[in-house]
A and B are shown apart, each in its own frame.
Chain A
Amino acid sequence: MANNTITWNKKDLLGLEGLTKEEIALILDTADSFKEVLTREVKKVPTLRGKTVVLLFFEPSTRTRTSFELAAKRLSADTVNIASSSSSVVKGESLTDTAKNIEAMNIDVIVLRHSAEGSAHMLSQQVKAAVINAGDGCHEHPTQALLDIMTIRERKQNIEDLKVTIVGDIAHSRVARSNIWGLKKLGAQVTVCGPATLMPRDVEELGVKVCYDINEAIKDADVINVLRLQLERQKEHLFPSIREYIRLFGIDKERLLQAKKDVLILHPGPVNRGVELSVDVADSVYSLILNQVTNGIAVRMAVLYLLCTQTGKK
């Protein structure tokens, strides 16, 4: 599986749309190797000693921020956490100014989560440090998609020709977009399913099949990636009631009887138990939710390693 011919030469990781199939495979292969480090008694290697990673989070997050922080620490990099609520951002400082000031402290990587689409792209052009997009609005969340794909690949060995169904609020989901780009590049067939009001216009242009009937969408699926329903969307009248959503799109044991016997269930978390996933399914043998979390650290270690040690970088 190891790919010796390709090396990483991008300054940043902004999304999966701009990566080649080979670059995605390189990250996944590297992550496979890093996973072993997490099982050691001393779960730490000296690789990025002396590097500094700044976690700049303008939106709440437990999983992603902790995962990035642990990944950096496992590689012996130093980490600094900046949450918007306790920083100068509340005094009105702009994103660029905040980042440039941080960069003046000689840091190497900025991990950015921001509610504005394109914020990571914008920042990457303003600073010399490597920028990792940890979620920009409804646009991309590349490391989440990479860990999803890694988790699928561990079970199914190959992504090519796999049928993957993504269920939920596709329109507002950066996880869905990154997954679609990544999975399509690796040759999977992707179906998206959800209420028409939560389906982006012209989504077919991404090369996916659109299906509004959940039973139809999961029938032949090898993998079902269930998105978190953002409950606040109901206030925007995008779906009538949670009860109706559960009835039409919720995944429960009964519905899964129509799916393949070895279907895999993914969820990016946090789960609304009893809404998009029933409690018994979330804890069932189909569910790989906790594998995803473990793989998340390995994927983020791989990304940090590739960005910090790339060719031509001093």
Chain B
Amino acid sequence: MVRKHNKFIMKETKKLLDKVGMEKLLKRLAHEIVEKNKGTQDLVIIGIMTRGAHLAKRLAKFISEIESPGPKVGTLDITLYRDDLSVIAEQPVVKKTDLLFSITNKKVVLVDDVLYTGRTVRAALTELLDFGRPQFIQLAVLIDRGFRELPIRADFVGKNIPTSQREIVEVRLEETDTVDEVVILERENHI
């Protein structure tokens, strides 16, 4: 598959996960979250729009299968807290944040698909703290691909993947992309 990504032609070079593999990882993450937090008391799961939000819903479902009642789920759109609004080429679409419960004194697990520079997570942390004062915030990601630009690390990692900066890790989910998979795309030299 060849597709355009930020004006570059991208070529799919490697498939990292399929539907079954992804489900295994998410179930393992659900177990780790329950174990580390000793249950689901005061636990809330908050996903970062768009794919993190869908992963958060799936994680919450798996967690509720381990321990009932399951955690509340919210979604966070970090567009308004981005640090690159003045430099990026494309104007980001503002999506809806959906956090209808208080997070004060809650154990918050923040969920995103790929952890890369850490800037999205920084924005999410700033935004969350405007919503209340949680007991703590933990970070769960499906893929950690390295190249951090801020001192941020994940508490729960589905899979660590060594990548180069030329590559893009793309998580595709049935909810948004009709298929569950994780692939690596590489920028082609000649357009």
**Residues of A bordering B, CB below 8 Å:** 2-4, 7-8, 29-30, 32-34, 36-37, 40-42, 44-47, 75, 302, 305-306, 309-314
Contact = CB atoms under 8 A, between A and B. Distances in A.
Contact of B86 (A36, A75, A306, A314): A314
B91 interface: yes
B81 interface: yes
Nearest to B94: A33
Given A7-B90, A45-B80, A314-B86, 9 more contacts: A4-B93, A30-B93, A40-B130, A40-B131, A47-B80, A47-B81, A47-B82, A309-B86, A313-B86
Interface in B85-101: 85-86, 89-98
B97 A46 contact: no
B69 interface: no
A2 B93 contact: yes
- Of B82, B97, B98, most A-chain CB atoms within 10 Å: B97
B126 interface: yes
Contacts, number: 58
Contact of A33 (B77, B89, B91, B131): B77
A311 B85 CA distance: 10
Contacts of A312: 89
A310 B91 contact: yes
26 contacts: A2-B93, A4-B93, A7-B91, A29-B93, A30-B93, A30-B94, A32-B96, A33-B94, A33-B96, A34-B94, A36-B96, A36-B98, A37-B97, A41-B130, A42-B130, A45-B130, A46-B126, A47-B80, A47-B82, A75-B80, A302-B94, A306-B91, A309-B85, A309-B86, A311-B89, A312-B89
A46 B91 contact: no
B21 interface: no
A309 B96 contact: no
Interface of B: 77, 79-82, 85-86, 89-98, 126-127, 130-132
B97 A36 contact: yes
A302 B94 CA distance: 9
A51 B108 CA distance: 33
Nearest to A30: B94
The CB with the most chain A CB atoms within 10 A, among B77, B92, B93, B98, is that of: B93
A41 B131 contact: yes
B91 A309 contact: yes
A2 B94 CA distance: 9
Contacts of A309: 85-86, 91-92
Nearest to B87: A314
B18 to A, nearest CB: 26
Contacts of A41: 130-132
A44 B130 CA distance: 9
Contact of B81 (A3, A45, A306): A45
Given A8-B91, A305-B94, A46 B81 contact: yes
B86 A2 contact: no
A46 B83 CA distance: 9
Contacts of A3: 93
Contact of B95 (A33, A37, A310, A313): A33
Contact of A37 (B80, B82, B92): B80
Contacts of A40: 130-131
Contacts of B95: 2, 33
A308 to B, nearest CB: 8
B21 to A, nearest CB: 28
Contacts of A46: 80-81, 126
Contacts of B89: 311-312
Contacts of B93: 2-4, 29-30
A83 B77 CA distance: 37
A47 B91 CA distance: 13
A30 to B, nearest CB: 5
Residue in A36, A44, A313 with the greatest tally of chain B CB atoms within 10 Å: A36
Most buried by A among B80, B96, B127: B80
Nearest to B104: A41
A205 B109 CA distance: 58
B105 to A, nearest CB: 14
B96 A42 contact: no
Contacts of B130: 40-42, 44-45
B96 to A, nearest CB: 5
Nearest to B81: A46
Contacts of A310: 91
B109 to A, nearest CB: 21
Contacts of A30: 93-94
B122 to A, nearest CB: 12
Contacts of B98: 36
